[in-house]
Amino acid sequence: MRKVFRNKLALFGVIVVGSLAIVAIFAPFIAPYDPAEINIKDALLSPSFEHIFGTDQLGRDVFSRMIYGARISLVIGFVAVGIAVFIGLIIGSIAGYYGGRIDSILMRFVDMMLCFPSFFLILALIALLEPNIMIIMVVIGITSWMGTARLIRAEILSLKEREFIQASKVLGASDFRIIVRHLIPNGIGPVLVSAVLGIAAAVLIESSLSFLGIGVQPPTPSWGNILMEGKATLGVCWWLILLPGLAIFITVLGYNLLGEGLRETFGGRKKYVA
């Protein structure tokens, strides 16, 4: 942690990500209005002391909707990446540890999945299923695990011939114990960096799907559907486009800088844990 905080890129990312997490957790206490409250007489008010980020076409407070949108975006990002990391660890660990025909079959499956453009595959799956938050999280997760599988496979291939792994085999440790207790903990570093970068990608995907109208459905606020609703007043109500766009930009930038900072921090000499 000292290395992370000494890295300026990682520190900036921690501040951004930590601030967003605090806003998302305490959204009910921070938001001055109910994000779903409709008040037509206050429609399309520009930013003021009463409504810091103005109001939308239905008179809803944009600041409150942005705060609750942070909660939706971050939850989708974390859960989707959690699913992707879980699947990738299983497939990559089995392929790297056993090698041979098992490795060839699993890696050809990974290559086949990588042949499909991820975003269009997500669009196809969402179009076939009812778009809701749970479906979006699962679909993003099951279409984003291939990079994790390749990373953990590469790490395990370099680790499984080391002395402490051979010693575990001699002592009679099961394959499951060797993979879970020794190989994954020692090869998890690049996966964690990839996971942090993956959260940024998941936030972008969710915002894109919501902007297209097949993501998080109104009246549930997300930054993507706030952008979609502001599209109708583009050029008149600038705050409906600029503010959620900036939120997405800052969030993705924060996660990317945190990921790059972690990569630089943990890219040096490794200390293995037996």
Comparing CA positions, the residue from 68, 4, 8, 64 lying closest to residue 32 is 64
- What is the model's pLDDT at position 38? 86
Q: Tell me, what's the pLDDT at 266?
A: 66
Domains of the chain: 2-265 (1.10.3720.10)
Which regions in the chain score pLDDT beneath 50?
A: 269
d(C-alpha 217, C-alpha 210), whole Å = 7
Which pLDDT value is given to residue 257?
87
CA distance linking residue 61 with residue 45, whole number of Å:
9
Q: Could you tell me if 72 and 203 are in contact, meaning their C-beta atoms sit under 8 angstroms apart?
A: no
Residue 264, CA distances (Å) to 161, 201, 241 in order: 26, 20, 34
Q: Which pLDDT score is estimated for 270?
A: 55
CA-to-CA dists, residue 20 to 135, 229, 250, angstroms = 23, 23, 10
Tell me the whole-structure pTM to 2 decimals.
0.85
pLDDT of residue 211: 85
